[in-house]
C-alpha cells in the first residue's frame, strides 16, 4: 500500500464524523490533548513573564553589585574609576543612603533616602512619571507605594526628620521640607519603600562634608555578580563590604525559576495522561473497527500496512491536538491580562499585592522555544502511545472479524 493511502486512511479515521464509537474516541483524544497543550502554554507564558519582568524591572534598576563603606570622596572617586576599567562592568555610580522619618500630617513612616548620581538615576528614570532628566536640590522622587501610604501626590511638600550623626553629638536632628516632583511606578515591590534624591543634596543635608556611602555596579552578565563581589571583597580594605543581587533578591529569582520548572513538570504529566489516553482510545477503536481492518486485509493490505495506519492515526491525533492547542494557548495567554483586570474589577482590589508577590500585575512572555518543544513532545508521546494499539490491530484475525460482521 502506498504511503499516501496509509496517511489518507489514518486521517479519515481521526476526522470521522460518524456517530460510531471510533470517531467519538478519536475526537475526544484530540480535544483532551488540545486543552492540555493550551493550558500548559498559557501557564508557561505567565511564568516566563515573571522571569522577564524580574530581570528588567527589579534587576534592571537595583545594583548588581554594591560596595558599602566609609571613605572620603576622593577614595570613592578612585574606586569608581577602577571599577569602570574592570572587564564585565558596564556602569558604576556613587550613592548616599540616609535613614529618616517621612511625615505627612498624622502619617509617619520610616524610610531610607537614596541620594543618586546620574548613572544610578538613569536606570530609575525609565519608570519615573513624569520623566525627569536630573534631580535638583530639595526635590524627591517617591515609589507609588510609599506615596500612597503617606497620602502625597506630585507637587506636594513632604517633611522628613533626619537624625543627627550618632558619632558626632554636635550634629542634631533636623526637619527638612522636600518637594515631590515625580513618582516611580515600576509595578514591583521596590515601589513600597523608595525615596530618591540628588546625591550631593542628600550627602550634605546636615552640613556634612560631601562623600558617599556606596558604589553601585551594573554588570554585562547578570550571573557574574557573585564572582565580581568576591573580586572586590578580596582587594578592598576591611572598611568596605560588598553585596550583590543574589544575596538580596536571589531567593526570589530562584523561587520563580523553581515554580516554573515545577509547573512545567506538573502540566507535562497532564499532557502525558492525555497522550496515553490515546492508548485506550485506539484499543477501543481497533475493537470497533475489526471489520474495517479485516476488509483492508482482504483487499490486499499487509499487516505492515495496518500497523502504519494506526501509528499514523496516533500521529495525526498528536499533530492536530498539539497544533490547535498551541493556537488556543497563544490566544489564552494574550487574554490573561484582560481576564486578570476583569477579576480585579469584580473583586474590588488587586489580584497581586507587592507585599506578597514581586509584581502587582500578571506579565506574559510567550517563547517560541517553549511552543516548539511542547508541540514536539506532544506529537512524540501520541506516536509512542499508538504503538500498542497498532500492534494489536495488525494481529486481528481476518476470518473471525468478517464472520462477526
Kindly report, residue by residue over 134-183, the tens digit of the pLDDT.
Answer: 888 889 999 888 898 899 999 999 998 888 665 444 556 788 899 999 99
**Domain identity same for 317 and 331:** yes
Report yes or no: 26 and 285 within 8 Å, Cβ to Cβ. yes
Range of the domain at 69: 65-248
**Domain identity same for 347 and 244:** no
**Domain identity same for 366 and 393:** yes
The residue among 70 and 286 whose pLDDT is bigger is 70
Last residue of a domain, one of 199, 233, 248: 248
**Domain identity same for 69 and 202:** yes
Q: What does the alpha-carbon distance between residue 138 and residue 177 come to, in Å, rounded to a whole number?
A: 8
Q: 3-state class of 176 per DSSP?
A: strand
pLDDT digits (tens, 9 = 90+) for 25-66: 777 888 888 888 898 888 888 888 877 777 777 777 788 999
pLDDT the model gives residue 315: 86
Evaluate if residue 379 carries a pLDDT over 80.
Answer: yes
Q: What does the alpha-carbon distance between residue 106 and residue 101 come to, in Å, rounded to a whole number?
A: 12
**Domain identity same for 293 and 345:** yes
**Domain identity same for 69 and 217:** yes
Q: What does the alpha-carbon distance between residue 335 and residue 43 come to, in Å, rounded to a whole number?
A: 12
Last residue of a domain, one of 202, 222, 248: 248
pLDDT the model gives residue 196: 92
Q: What does the alpha-carbon distance between residue 116 and residue 197 come to, in Å, rounded to a whole number?
A: 6
pLDDT the model gives residue 358: 57
**Domain identity same for 97 and 239:** yes
Whose cell is 479519515? That residue is 12
Q: What is the DSSP letter of 258?
A: H
Q: Kindly report the average pLDDT of the chain as a whole number.
A: 81
pLDDT the model gives residue 169: 47
**Domain identity same for 129 and 270:** no
pLDDT digits (tens, 9 = 90+) for 294-337: 777 777 777 788 788 878 888 888 899 899 999 999 998 888 88
**DSSP annotation string for 95-126:** EEEEEEEEEETTEEEEEEEEEE-HHHHHHHHT
**Domain identity same for 44 and 90:** no
Q: What is the DSSP letter of 237?
A: -
Whose cell is 493511502? That residue is 5
**Domain identity same for 25 and 70:** no
Residues in the chain: 405
Region of residue 16 (phi > 0: left; psi between -120 and 50: alpha; otherwise: beta): beta
Q: Does this model's pTM top 0.75?
A: no
Count how many domains the chain has.
Answer: 2
Amino acid at each position: 500500500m502506498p504511503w499516501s493511502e496509509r496517511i489518507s486512511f489514518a486521517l479519515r479515521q481521526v476526522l470521522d464524523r460518524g456517530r460510531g464509537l471510533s470517531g467519538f474516541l478519536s475526537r475526544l483524544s484530540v480535544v483532551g490533548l488540545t486543552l492540555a497543550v493550551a493550558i500548559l502554554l498559557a501557564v508557561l507564558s505567565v511564568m516566563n513573564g515573571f522571569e522577564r519582568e524580574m530581570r528588567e524591572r527589579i534587576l534592571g534598576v537595583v545594583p548588581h553589585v554594591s560596595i558599602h563603606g566609609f571613605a572620603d570622596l576622593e577614595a570613592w572617586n578612585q574606586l569608581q574609576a577602577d571599577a569602570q576599567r574592570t572587564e564585565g562592568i558596564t556602569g558604576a555610580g556613587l550613592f548616599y543612603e540616609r535613614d529618616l522619618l517621612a511625615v505627612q500630617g498624622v502619617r509617619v513612616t520610616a524610610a531610607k533616602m537614596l541620594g543618586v548620581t546620574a548613572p544610578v538615576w538613569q536606570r530609575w528614570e525609565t519608570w519615573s512619571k513624569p520623566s525627569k532628566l536630573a534631580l535638583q536640590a530639595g526635590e524627591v522622587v517617591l515609589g507609588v507605594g510609599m506615596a500612597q501610604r503617606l497620602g502625597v501626590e506630585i507637587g506636594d511638600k513632604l517633611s522628613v526628620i533626619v537624625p543627627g550623626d550618632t558619632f558626632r553629638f554636635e550634629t542634631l536632628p533636623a526637619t527638612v521640607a522636600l518637594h515631590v516632583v515625580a513618582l516611580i511606578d515600576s509595578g514591583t515591590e521596590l515601589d513600597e519603600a523608595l525615596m530618591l534624591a540628588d546625591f550631593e543634596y542628600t550627602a550634605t543635608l546636615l552640613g556634612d562634608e560631601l562623600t558617599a556611602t556606596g558604589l553601585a555596579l551594573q554588570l554585562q552578565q547578570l550571573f557574574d555578580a557573585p564572582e565580581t563581589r568576591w573580586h572586590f571583597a578580596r582587594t578592598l580594605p576591611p572598611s568596605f563590604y560588598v553585596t550583590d543581587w543574589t544575596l538580596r533578591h536571589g531567593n526570589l529569582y530562584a523561587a520563580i525559576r523553581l515554580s516554573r520548572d515545577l509547573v512545567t513538570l506538573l502540566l507535562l504529566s497532564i499532557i502525558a495522561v492525555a497522550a496515553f489516553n490515546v492508548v485506550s482510545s485506539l484499543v477501543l477503536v481497533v475493537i470497533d473497527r475489526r471489520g474495517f481492518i479485516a476488509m483492508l486485509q482482504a483487499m490486499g493490505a499487509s499487516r505492515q500496512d495496518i500497523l502504519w495506519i494506526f501509528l499514523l492515526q496516533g500521529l495525526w491525533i498528536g499533530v492536530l491536538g498539539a497544533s490547535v492547542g498551541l493556537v488556543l494557548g497563544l490566544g489564552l495567554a494574550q487574554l490573561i491580562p484582560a481576564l486578570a483586570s476583569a477579576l480585579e474589577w469584580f473583586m474590588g482590589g488587586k489580584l497581586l499585592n507587592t507585599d506578597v508577590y514581586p509584581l502587582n500585575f500578571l506579565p506574559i512572555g510567550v517563547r517560541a522555544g517553549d511552543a516548539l518543544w511542547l508541540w514536539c513532545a506532544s506529537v512524540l508521546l501520541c506516536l509512542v502511545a499508538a504503538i500498542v494499539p497498532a500492534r494489536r490491530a495488525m494481529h486481528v484475525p481476518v476470518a473471525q472479524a468478517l464472520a462477526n460482521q
